[in-house]
Chain A
Amino acid sequence: MASATLSTPAKARPRAAAWAWALPPVGLLALVFLYPLALVVQQSVRPDTGGTSVQPYADVFASEAFREALWTTVWLAAASTAGCLVLGFVLALIIAFVPFPGARAVSRFIDVFLSFPSFLITLALLFIYGSTGMAGGLWTDATGAGEGPFQFLTTPWGVLLAEITYFTPFVMRPLLAAFSQLDTAQLEAASSLGARAPRIIRRIILPESLPALAAGGSLVLVLCLNEFGIVLFTGAKGVTTLPMLVYGKAILESDYPGACVVAVVNVLISVGLYGLYRVVSRRAGA
């Protein structure tokens, strides 16, 4: 009892102090981040005709452009994620299990790669496959044709290629961590029991790295849904994703309520997927 009465004021004081310390940063965060976000939501229910209504939502949801952008966004993100998972798994397998000189250096480079801006990759691809790029130039020089065969960069396939190129390391990082945790004695036991490499990969390595795959995959899915730089830099005019639609409506059409509606939809999808990512990654950590 004595100790309990003694400890109460001692505990209360740090808590009050903690609140005092926490308040300024939380307030600042709310002001610079949550307030603008709230404004976006508010703007989305304020049509240009005045008043408050859900008319902008109805208009946007009814428009062909929005539905097409939503579809493009979702399938591009899904396809990119699938591509990243396959490519990332194969590359991580090679780096982790095939002893070759420089494996460590490659692994380090992946860390650096994660810090690159996304448009840089697109720019690099443009230099190679763009309409005036190196590959096209070689082709036109060699054949004398008017234009090269590499016109895919301005199509959804170009965006897909760029996104897979850029986001694959985001899958590889958690996978390499998971592989390094794998007990090599298990792999040896499996091969000693008569299993060749493909069976060991399928039955031991893949199932044991599923949590890491899920974590990396959901992260890439969220990032792809919101990707703006890659889509913009490929110059694919036919490819409109949700972030591009927000940009188009706000900057080009000055349709602020419409842009805000699309933005809110985009935020909701991202937050929903982020929640999923947290659940998955928590299970991966367990």
Chain B
Amino acid sequence: MKKLLLVFMVVAFLLPATLAGAQTTVTVWFGRQEFIPADAFETFHAENPDIRVEFDVIPLEESHVDFMRNHAVGVAPDVVQIFGEFLATMVVRGTLLDITEYIEAWAEEDPEDFADIYDIAFDMTTYEDRIYGINVHSGPFFMGYRKDWLAEAGLEEPQTWEELLDACRILQEEVLTGDEYAYAQPGGAHHPPFWMMATFMSMGGQFRDTGTPIVDSEAGIFLIDFYQTLANEGLQDPEAHAWASGDFRGAFMGERAAFYPEAINIYAYTQEVLEYATEWEVMVQPPREGAEDDFRVNSFGWPYMVNSDTEDPEAVMKVLRYLFDPEICVSVALAYQPANRASVMTSDAYYEAHPYFPILEASFAEQVTYPTHLRSVERADILNEMKFVAQQVPAQYTPEEIAARYQELLDALD
């Protein structure tokens, strides 16, 4: 009896440790609380009792730096969510795992599932032809506009940037009064130039292989000229160059702006304060006249990247595939950011939550990534300064002069 009791005690003591040893832990850093699946991995744990997912929220603004710092001392998570633009820096520092073979195996193993995924899911995580993560959610910038104000001025939805600028002039002169302005956009200092680069890409702007935008091109000079015109012809708030994102969103939702370039998640809030399809409408940012072939819908995303030191890549892949499962990512898509899966984006639930999406659907499927750059924040800093100079009133330089000056600074980063 004593022996039996002893054996029981030893088993009772060792069993939890043995079970724990058999269980793999995968740690995930989400960039925002809203990206965490609605079930908080409950289903995953039920389906994969040998894998335990532990997660935390590290803001996207800090996650890449924190991750690289933790990686240097061997305590980084297995998966980190980042702004896609930091990919190059993280690869060069040797902090990310090349998961190309796992993605190829996935494509081979389940071609039907794989076909449901938009290209941007892997385009954004590819650096020098190797894949380092999965971009489950991304948010291209489209354009919201006041349908009722355009109708009042007898205007149709503009088809090119030239038409949009003309519409702004007519609205400003004939419809808008007081603090109402034709165009709203964020200024430079507070944010990365996502909005500017979205417009640049729709105008046909191109990038060097290093990720440096070619601003001394026709598209770049057109962009600078566009900003100069908005500021110098009084088509935007005189203080717009100092605005943060909240200011320009507030201007549109507060009925003080006719056009605003924004992403789908913000349209969700817009429809709560303005009546969709009656007062406001959405459109894809238009091309520049004569540059229709170069038009591209930009994409900015928050991909999940895999740690180069991860001990169990198979377990990590299971977690990533779970996050990308249509039944899981749909909750994030409905409540927050769109998912890069056709079955989710074309579902009745999504159409109901975002009634404007059918207009954007085709463009959403064709997103092109805003390229990564080894010095992405310095690139952003130079572009923001360029935009600030372009919005000076009265204009101090010609668009060509501004483009030449800032192209030089951008090229110096390479």
Q: Do A and B bind each other?
A: no
Residues of B within 8 A of A (CB): none
Residues of A within 8 A of B (CB): none
